[in-house]
Amino acid sequence: MIRLRSLVAVSTALVFATGPVAAQQQPAPPPSTAPSPAQTNPLPTTTAPNPVADPTKSAAPAPQQAIAPPPAGQAAVGTPGRPTLIEKPGEPGDVDEVTLPAKPAAILSGKTKWEEAIVNLRQAFARIEADLAKAGIAPAGRPLAVFTRTDDDGFEFEAMIPVAAPPSPAPAEADGLRFGTTPSGKALRFPHKGSYESIDGTYETLTAYLDAKDIVVQDRFIEEYATDLKDGTDDNLDVNIFALVK
């Protein structure tokens, strides 16, 4: 089962410290064996996410807004060549201090069980791609998932795909899709290269690094998929994990 429980709620026990960051120069201590804070102290959320509408899954959808599947024949996500938020790629094992730009984006909120994360994230990205195509709006960046709340059962998220510019006038929110901006500001980038099933190891490194450096971060984390999110065993997956510094 794919689990991301280590990705959120680390900020509540951390204190901000300034200065350059480089994991190669400052090796992170071994991960703590203590239970994840998310098990007993899930983060608050400031969003009103839409549950995933999929009757074959165990996540219970809310009646007002649900993520519908893409039209028949629509590919999930196939976005080679689109730029990442930070042009220079990171290296596994490195920690980079970066400044994320605020980019206009199409956004769809949702929630999922841990074991259904990849399926429902892919479905959300496909839905955004399909709606952008209908509106004649070209995507201009890699897909993002902003994790806004976690608990033992699953997590809430905002799926985003950057666009060159939001439509003007802005269309009315349809089926939960809206336009806004990607998270911005000072952040730490932790690259992950390897299967999604092994991403917990990168989050453990992230948590240990923040703890060792006494850095406090915002109550959300960002995953940017520099390569397409296919399945949990794809060893060619390239993900940028961003922790927004308070």
Distance, C-alpha 55 to centroid of its chain: 24
Cα distance between residue 241 and residue 162, in whole Å: 17
Cα distance between residue 143 and residue 1, in whole Å: 23
Q: What percent of the chain has pLDDT over 90?
A: 59
Which residue would you say has higher pLDDT here, 149 or 47? 149
What is the b/e burial string over 107-123, where b = at least 16 CB atoms within 10 angstroms of the residue's CB? bbbbbbbbbbbbbbbbb
Cα distance between residue 237 and residue 135, in whole Å: 30
> Which pLDDT band, with edges at 50, 70 and 90, does 176 fall under?
confident
> Which pLDDT band, with edges at 50, 70 and 90, does 67 fall under?
very low
Q: Which region among 36-40, 103-107, 115-119, 242-246 has the lowest average model confidence (pLDDT)?
A: 36-40
Q: Which region among 4-8, 58-62, 153-157 has the lowest average model confidence (pLDDT)?
A: 58-62
Does residue 218 register a pLDDT over 90?
yes
**Tens of pLDDT, residues 72-90:** 333 334 445 799 999 999 8
pTM metric for this prediction:
0.69
Does residue 17 register a pLDDT over 80?
no
**Tens of pLDDT, residues 26-65:** 444 444 444 433 333 333 333 334 444 444 444 433 333 3
Return the pLDDT at 168: 83
Cα distance between residue 142 and residue 225, in whole Å: 6
- What order do you get walking across the sheet with 144-150 strand by strand? 96-100, 185-193, 238-245, 217-225, 144-150, 154-162, 104-113, 178-181
